[in-house]
Chain A
């Protein structure tokens, strides 16, 4: 995956991660929004398209992590 996308997905995951305080999650949200704006502008993409792509990649990555951890996953293909 492109390093910029990896960074965005990491930030998205930070927003939802179980660890960390509410403040950490708020900071992650702000960072993600800023990064999405920056990359979307640089790449001439709509922010909404980039954000939907990030969410999709996040769930795909989480599904793969579940498969690795459990040998199976509840998440649909």
Chain B
């Protein structure tokens, strides 16, 4: 799918700066302070939201998020499994980005659920015994 840069003029190659990362950090700080959010949900926010959802943004919304610029829009959509709610935060660089996200939240939720198998390494981290096996196998 080619990027829909005609819908998002000037947004395709913006460099990552502290300003674009700050809102994401703010979201993570909020989550950290919320006792109702489980550690698994925090992990999901930290990992899946930053990867799966950003990739979803490019694939389905046509946003050109490159490999090393996945935070370029400073926008994060996190599916908090514990509370069952979505949090949407935008750096506000272009309201069209948020507008597009809001239009497709249902699709994004479905995709995050599809990718939930990726949680297994967080829920079941490598044990010491498994680490020994891996070290023996790969040095």
Contacts and interface: CB of A to CB of B under 8 A. Distances in A.
A55 B130 CA distance: 14
* Residue with the highest number of chain B CB atoms closer than 10 Å, among A21, A56, A66: A66
B118 A19 contact: no
Interface size range of chain B in the complex:
35 or more
B66 interface: yes
B52 interface: yes
A48 to B, nearest CB: 8
A56 B134 CA distance: 13
Q: Mostly helix, strand, loop or mixed at chain A's interface?
A: helix
Interface size range of chain A in the complex:
20 to 34
Given A16-B51, A52-B126, A74-B25, A66 B121 contact: no
Contacts, number: 79
A75 B71 CA distance: 12
A43 B138 contact: yes
Interface in A5-40: 5, 16-19, 21
Contacts of A56: 121, 125-126
A24 to B, nearest CB: 11
Q: Mostly helix, strand, loop or mixed at chain B's interface?
A: helix
A52 B130 CA distance: 10
Interface in B16-71: 16-18, 21, 24-25, 28, 46-47, 50-52, 54-55, 58-59, 64-71
B67 A19 contact: yes
Interface of B: 1, 16-18, 21, 24-25, 28, 46-47, 50-52, 54-55, 58-59, 64-71, 118, 120-121, 124-126, 130, 133-134, 137-139
